[in-house]
Amino acid sequence: MNVSGTMSLMVQTGWTAERWTAAFVEQAEMFREAVAEADPAAEVPTRPGWTVQDLVIHLGRFLETSTPYLRTGSRTAMRPPEPRAGLSPLEYLDLQITAAAEILTAVPGNRPVWTFSPAAPDLAWVWHRRIAHETVLRRFDAQTVVRQVVATDADLCVDGIDEVLTTIVAAKLDGDVPNMVSGSAVVRPADVPESWLISLAPDEAPRIRAAAPGEEGDAQVTGEAELVYFWLWNRMNYREMTGDRRVLDVLQVGRGH
């Protein structure tokens, strides 16, 4: 997939490695509280087929496989470490949360390191951001089990929307789901000033820029920033997402995740 010269990241969210680290710590604490309250065998409403124990192991394993890039500064993809043995799921999770908080705090965002998306720079802040938002997503999943979902700050949601559109979609299309769709979408949350225009073409990374006032695409994604954020991760329904369904399907990255 050709990514050279295809991205124009004109939407600036103003987040830093320090802010993502703080968000991770906050979200991890809420996740830990929710899973501690829940039955480990309870099903996760937002992830059919998953139990709370699956969710706990998933987040722990995600942290264990992501943080080595920050710790080592590897410039190439690494083999995942062997899973830890002899620990309960919650003990494993606690170990990984503690280690991640220490690494995220210690590593500056501008450290060169391999990253997972062809549209992202090879800099550590990409991992700070990914770790923070993966934890937001799993906190949401866990809180649906205990029916105590707290609102997600609109500023955090805006940054999460930007991550999906400028980084995650390109990673998805660079993997096992090549894009054969041509078209465009405007993502315009109703409660924040930021908006995005995404243009798609076969075998190319999405082209992204800030949407102009009144600009429309082949598909429109609207609603409050929190709704848009979780819709992109396949946690919300389509009621405010209209237009070309093929384009919408490309933008929605959370299926099976």
| Per-residue pLDDT reduced to its tens digit, 145-174 | 999 999 999 999 999 999 999 999 999 998
Task: Classify domain 170-251 by CATH number.
Answer: 3.30.1050.10
pLDDT for the residue numbered 16: 95
- Domain ranges in the chain with CATH number 3.30.1050.10: 170-251
Q: In sequence order, what E strands does the chain have?
A: 183-189, 196-200, 207-209, 219-223, 241-243
The segment(s) of the chain belonging to CATH 1.20.120.450 are 17-146
Cβ-based neighbours of 34, under 8 Å, separated by 6 or more: 139, 142, 143, 145, 146, 148
Rounded-to-integer distance, Cα 251 and Cα 206, Å: 10
- Residue 10: pLDDT above 80? no
Confidence band for 132, pLDDT divided at 50, 70 and 90 = very high
CATH fold group of domain 17-146: Four Helix Bundle (Hemerythrin (Met), subunit A) (1.20.120)
pLDDT tens-place string over residues 215-238: 999 999 999 999 999 999 999 876
Helix (H) or strand (E) holding 182: none
Give the integer Cα–Cα distance in Å for 206 and 166. 8
CA distance 236 to 43: 18
